[in-house]
Amino acid sequence: MFVSSNRNKYKEVNSVLFSGGIVVEYHNMQILEMQSNSLKQIAEEKSKAAYSKLSRPVLVEDDGLFIDYLNGFPGQYSAYVYKTIGNSGILKLLEGVLVRCASFISVFAFYDGKSPYCFLGKTHGRISTAIRKGGWGFDGIFIPDRCDSTFGELHQLKKKELFSHRTKALDKFKKWYLTN
């Protein structure tokens, strides 16, 4: 069961896992996140919290946008930063900056009541100079390497999965899950 309060994430998760023959249910739940500099630690704790409420195996995700020029900010605080300053705030922080390297990192944690298993995916890219349409969250400003389109534009073309940090992490999970 995938546990999140973000239905958009579930759509991506379901698409990737279903293509591998894994059917995943969605449970809409707000999970209190611990404060940590580690996405892995946050994901592990979220998986344990979700399991304790549902008493069944769960899959959760924590992710972040890490901008090199801003020393990794917003990183693990990405959801909060998006809610408070959004894409326009990030672009304002990068005004006049020519090298706009960034990465999206995703960590999925699967917990079955025994021990958490984590799977990491990372996509390198850059921040655009303007907000483009499509997708959700920071999708409108993130351009993956070897691409001229933002995640948002790729989402509209149904090609985001070809570059997605979530897909990379979920492919690792899928391989592990199907062999265990």
Does domain 2-179 match CATH 3.30.420.10? no
To the question of pTM greater than 0.75 for the whole model, the response is yes
Structure-block tokens of residue 68: 């090199």
- pLDDT score recorded for residue 104: 97
- pLDDT score recorded for residue 180: 87
- pLDDT score recorded for residue 35: 82
User: Is position 68 annotated as part of the catalytic site?
Assistant: no
- pLDDT score recorded for residue 170: 96
- pLDDT score recorded for residue 32: 77
- pLDDT score recorded for residue 161: 87
**Over 90: is that where the pLDDT of 20 sits?**
no
Alpha-carbon distance 180 to 161, whole Å?
A: 25
- Please give the average per-residue pLDDT across 127-155, as a whole number: 94
Domain ranges for the chain, please list them: 2-179
- pLDDT score recorded for residue 65: 98
Segment 57-107, tens digit of pLDDT: 999 999 999 999 999 999 999 999 999 999 999 999 999 999 999 999 999
Alpha-carbon distance 15 to 98, whole Å?
A: 35
In contact, 85 and 145? CB cutoff 8 Å: no
Instruction: Please tell me which residue in 62, 63, 139, 171 is annotated as part of the active site.
Output: 62
**Over 90: is that where the pLDDT of 37 sits?**
no
**Over 90: is that where the pLDDT of 136 sits?**
no
